Structure formats: C-alpha cells, structure tokens
Amino acid sequence: MTLPIPTTLGLKKSFGFGDRLGLATPGHLAAARKSDFAPIFAQQSIREMDRTQRTPQEVMLAAQKALAHAGYSQEWGADADHLKTEADVNITAATGYCFFTIDPSGLVVNDADTMSPALLVEQVAHLLRDGVFTDTHWAEHYLNQTFEVSDKTTLRFDQDGLYRAAAKYARAIAHCEKMTHAIAKASASRPYEIEVSVDESDSPTSALEHLFFGLELKRRGVHVVSLAPRFVGDFEKGIDYRDDLKAFEDCLQKHVEVAKYCGPYKLSIHSGSDKFSVYPIIGRVCENLVHVKTAGTSYLEALRVVCRKSPDLFSEIVQFSVQRFNLDRKSYHISTTELDVVDLAKKPTSDPERVYLEERVGRQLLHVTFGSVLTLGKARNGRSFKEAILELLNREKDLYAEVLEIHFTKHLSLLNAG
C-alpha cells in the first residue's frame, strides 16, 4: 500500500481534524469531501500526544492508512500542533509533518496590560538587556507612525501602546524566530509552513498588538501562513462561543484587516470545534483567510458511539472522569467547576447522551479527562478503557464514521454559510 504524503496548503481556507484515537479519519474524510475547505487530517498537539501516549509517527500513520484505504488522492495537510521546543520540532519534522504550529504562549506577559508607564519602560529596558531586541533603534519602526491597515482602519503607536505590545509579546516573538530557524533546518529541502499561536494566553490580543506581532515577525524574517490571536470572548473547550457576538465580529474584522496588511496570512481559530454560533461570522468576515482547528470533539463523538452501543462502559468512563476532573481541568480554559461536576454526577438521568454529550458540564467533563481515560482508566472487569473503546469503535466503524460526518458537516456548512 502506497501511503499518501501530506503537503503544504498555503492560503487556501483550511480545517484541522484532530484525532486522539487514530480511528476518526474515515468520518473526517466523509465530511471533507462535501466541503471546499482544504483538510488537515494528521493533527495532534505535543501535549495531547503525551496524554494519550501516542507518537507523532502513530498519528501520521493513522491518517495515511485511512486515506490510502479510501483511495484519497487530493491534497491534505499534517499539523505538528502547539510546539514549544526545538525537540518538538525535530521529532515531528522527522515524521513528515509540513505544518508547524509554534506556541510561545508561556512567554506572553499578560500583566503588560495593567503595568504602570514606569514599569513598562523598565520592562523594555530588560528586553534590550536580554537581547530580545538586538537593534537599539527598534522602536523607530513603530513609534508615532500611522499604519493604514485598511480603508476603514488606521492604527498608530504612541509610546504607551508600543511599550505595552513589546512588553507583552516581544519575548514570544523572539522565540518564534528561534523556532522558525529550527523548523527550516529540520525540514531540510521539504516545503513547510508555519502558524503562530498565542490563543492560550490570558488576555485578548488587541488589533494594535496584532499589528506589532505581525510586523515584528516580518521584520525578523518569520513568514507565517496563519496566526491565532487570543480573541475577545470565551472559546472554551467542547462548547459553543460564550459572549457577545457583535463584539466578536467587530474584533474579528480588525484582526482580518491586520492579517491582510501584515501578510496576507490566515486567521487561525483555535478551540474551534463546536463554535456553531460564530461560524457564519467567521466565514463571512474571514472569507478564505481562515484556518479552523478542532481536536477533542472527535473524541466526544467516539464516546457518543460508546454511549449508544455500550451504556455500562460509558457509565464507568463517566464515573472515572468525575474522579479525575479536578486534576485534569487545570491546563484547560473552561467554566465548568468541580462543584458542577459533582452535582451532575449526583443526578440520575435516563438520557446520558444528552446530558454528557450535548450539555456544557457533561461535555467539558469528558473533554478534559480524555488523557486519564485513555492511559489510566480501567473498567470493573480490569480491562483498560482505551482497549475497550478501540475494540468497540473498530466493531462500529460505520456508526463512528456516520456521527463524525454529521458533526463536521455541520461545522463546515455553517462556516460556508457566512
């Protein structure tokens, strides 16, 4: 069997299908065939690989074998997601990934939003001292200049705005430059493309901060195909957008204008699954300059199959997840609390599929505990949850593909409806 090779997708509008179990590609492909989005079928973050005890090669091969079996010959991408170190780059590049998502979120200084002017001056001095800026005249590229990013929007840096943007993002940008060199070296002569993600930081990215980020990347020779800012509102895991839709649209419009001005590059929507209320807005405002990234929602659809075909196994997974929730939730942006989960677990239900796979608390409970379920969880009979889930999904391949096709067709159709 000849395995298909992933390719770069450029500025085509694109959609990332994350797969935590290695069995979702047939359903993803069925939805992708009905859409004009360029698909990324091999996608998993380093964090998720650690939590599921999978390797980059296993993630890649699962997608390749499914595509080969389906006779798929069109272009598709492979995303080495949320890379933080050069070691992350090397191990994924060696496996053939060609889309690299750099995640410098840990270097974003969220406190810059509220720093005093005196402290900002001190922070910028530290950036020079630490070699983050090697050009002592770096500020002249921005200060008191007017940037007409569109016929509707003009942005201007005064010292306060520039220093806040630099204090907040300069170290992250410098890390992106370093990682870009590592990606170029690891990819050798193979084509590759780069995304930068700061969506997992605490405070929203303003249009002015995005402009600084985009221009500074360009000044440092970092060319991105997409960038994921931290948008206003709540992009929580596993559920719809939670905030004012008009405020989001106004914010998104300015980010699109900046992306066109600095690139053009695509805006990347992370935690993009299940954001049904904002998909038409995203499609309308971004048009083709958009990449949407999903991950955990395919795992939840797998649990939907488990719920329908093995209710007792599903019940055991829920009970185990309740015990793991408080620990596993810590690295995720969600509103569900331990008290919410405990209260839900106390309530008997005759419709577990609705309660745990359609409503906020149940979905987020199951979403954030996936790693523990797949690596630590055991059924009462001593069998691992992962083994039981995979056996059931292999037995119910058609149903799993069907629920995935329905789920992602809804995603893609709403994006295009805009």
The single residue of 19, 81, 103, 274 carrying the catalytic annotation is 81
Report the alpha-carbon angle 358-294-337, nearest 5: 50
Q: How far is CA 407 from CA 5, 78, 280, 301, 356, in A?
A: 26, 21, 16, 8, 16
Residue that the structure tokens 């964090």 belong to: 47
Q: 39 phi and psi, to 5 degrees?
A: -90, 145
Sort residue 53 into left (φ over 0), alpha (ψ -120 to 50) or beta: left
Question: How far is it, in rounded angstroms, from Cα 377 to Cα 342?
Answer: 19
Whether 204 and 251 have beta carbons less than 8 Å apart is answered as: yes
Please tell me whether residue 197 adopts helix, strand or coil conformation: strand
Selection from 297, 260, 292 nearest residue 278 by Cα: 292
Chain centroid, CA 262 distance in Å: 22
Question: How far is it, in rounded angstroms, from Cα 363 to Cα 238?
Answer: 6
Residues forming a β-bridge with 197:
228
Q: Is 301 a catalytic residue?
A: no
Q: How far is CA 395 from CA 259, 292, 390, 400, in A?
A: 45, 30, 8, 10
Torsion of CA 400, 402, 403, 408, to 10 degrees: 120
DSSP state of 383: -
Q: Is 402 a catalytic residue?
A: no
Q: 14 phi and psi, to 5 degrees?
A: -140, 160
Question: How far is it, in rounded angstroms, from Cα 128 to Cα 185?
Answer: 27
Say whether the peptide bond before residue 26 is cis (omega within 30 degrees of 0): no
Whether 132 and 171 have beta carbons less than 8 Å apart is answered as: yes
The single residue of 19, 48, 88, 195 carrying the catalytic annotation is 195
Question: How far is it, in rounded angstroms, from Cα 292 to Cα 92?
Answer: 21
User: Which amino acid does the sequence have at 387?
Assistant: E
Residue positions annotated with a catalytic role: 81, 195
